[in-house]
Chain A
Amino acid sequence: MNHAVSAHPDITAKLPGWRATALFAALLLLLIGLLMRGIYLQGIHNDFLQKKGDARYSRVIEVSAHRGMITDRNGEPLAVSTPVQSVWASPSDVEANHRQLKKLSQILGMDVAGIKSRIFNVSRNFVYLKRQLPPDQVDKVVDLNIPGIMLQQEYRRYYPAGEEVAQTLGFTGQDDNGQEGLELALQELLAGKPGSRRVIKDMRGHIVEDAGDLRAPRHGKDVALSLDGKVQYLAYRELKNAVLSNRAKSGSVVVLDARSGEVLALANYPSFNPNNRSNTSIRSMRNRAVADLFEPGSTMKPFTIAAALEAGKIRPNTLINTENGVFSVGGRKIHDTHPEHALTVAQVIQKSSNIGSAKIALSMAPELLWKNFSNSGFGERSGSDFPGEASGKLHDAKTWRPIEQATMSYGHGISVNLLQLARAYTIFANDGELLPISMLKVEEQPSGKRVFSENTVRAMRDMLESVVSANGTAPLAQVAGYRTAGKTGTAHKLENGRYVNRYVASFVGFAPVSDPRLVVAVMVDEPNNKQYYGGLVAAPAFSKIVGAALHALNVPNDAPLDNVIVTPVDVMREEV
């Protein structure tokens, strides 16, 4: 005890002074270490903590951008994207009993085994069950409330006009990118670019602050086409009638604005439903009016005759010896369906004489004829920018033999697409200027390229108007209340290098003649119901389209309403 008591005063004396100093130094070192670490974390190497901190409250969210709408020239929608939901599963999170799966399979229209194989495939962590569901089915899937089955918003494109404009508009794929037609050609304009932005969320997940756009979304632009919904419908309806009633393989029609070169309608039959492409054949997706080439036949004659008129070789009343229907060039014979002794140049057009046309062509140098054809837009693209447009074939004049020059004058040995052919007729509808084609709405009148003089064109118009008279090849192309003009074509088809007895019947014309507003080209491929002449197969469709379209566009009459003459029983026929 004594020892303990006596020991007390000695404690401080016994502790050496260095211990306090050492402790102090150690604590100081620790403090400095902490400070350094603090400075290091907060000041020098602060990204890591910043990131961790941000991750607690800031989120980057995707801002979707929709694809632009395609409308007709009056703003009527032709293609609209609207959000739809797709159902997807995260296989490792799915918890569902058999009854739920059965219900799900009924809603989605899939078999249970198929669904099971997908949602229990744990090797993947994202699997689509069904894309682009209608809203009512989406509600039912939500009601099932199966963990691990989720929805994702996507866009789906709808085409209210359906099959009428199907090939022209084309369509988009699953991810709403253009795949065919104008959807593909206008992809740059139409496509939206999704953006993202950083936001600050509170603990309930509400966005409380905008921390700035990382990438601003770019919405797709709306595009107004040159098409007129009404005219397009009329054109498609009459084309369909013409193809079906003539039991033809297919048909196409092009309607152009004669003043601006805008495409008012472009239709093909057979067509497909762009809103449901499950049973669509590749054949019906083809935009024949621009992608297919054919030999135009007699619709080419006006360009031959106009070239000769322009060169001063002939006048409309020049008499041509048509050799009683048979004429041989270089050992090959050219025939006329209606043998005549002699015809004036105007009658060569009116009655579509091959011999007359061949003789006129042979009176010109090949280069001159070639130049006129080429200036009229043959052998080059129409400038519609349509994907897959065929440019057509116009061989170099140096390679022409006389027989080729003769047959080319009536449209054999040259190939065109229908849009090209329609465009070439803007020359006659427009005082001699070839207009550029546009699929988009044009605000300003485009300037054309002069091909023929006004005098030549005026003479040609008179001749083309005589084609639809009682003595011409196409009285069925007449329209009540309007003067029309045009040219028929009935061309043999080429198969493996030989001409066969299958035909392409066509009619290209314009109206009203006093002040042309529309150029319409109708082409029917392989009509197979007793008649195959352009004047009988294509001209009636032309007449119906022009009549209805001029009414729809409110174009004043330029002829009395009783101008349609009773058609003779035997319409003048022409071949080629």
Chain B
Amino acid sequence: MKVKHASLLSVLLLAAMSWSCAPDALQDLTPEDSQVFITNYQKSANFRNYQTFSLADSVYLLQNQRTGVSTLPLDFRILGRVADNLTKRGYKRILRSEKPDLGVNVIRISETQSGVVANYNPWNSYWGYGGGGGFYYPPTYSYYESTETYWYIEIVDLKNAVSGQQPSIIWNAQIRGSGIFDESTLASVVENVFTQSTYLKKN
């Protein structure tokens, strides 16, 4: 009977383990549905107080600790879309030298996350150090690395900037998910962050 109990318990344990694999919740997520549009705004800012904006002619790159500029066709296209949307909302694009009220930057951010996970897998092919008569399963380690690249657009307040101090960011947007670098969807993904920012207009 003792043996029977042990085998029953192992069946229970086995069942518990086989059930412990959660299904992939995002398996059926379309690229379009994976897109996330995040906008932040400074609540004290009154967007009607600004008339003009300037936009750099290149996209900034931020890759972990490194920075740079990029002038791919795609970069010009997104800059054009951002300028279009701001113009539609009543702001006038002028040159940086003409003292604009707002400064607009478009940044492509690549964030790499890496780490180590321990897998306590009792079905390992090798046996560990037996300790005190019990079994000890050493964990194996998996190394993972994932990189996410996304668009970041920010608007800084140059009108009220104090010299010697960093101008404050009054609006920023993140465009994240799959398919955000496709030519066919670029226009709509940029438009989305403006659509959800109804307060961002001159009139």
Determine if chain A interacts with chain B.
Answer: no
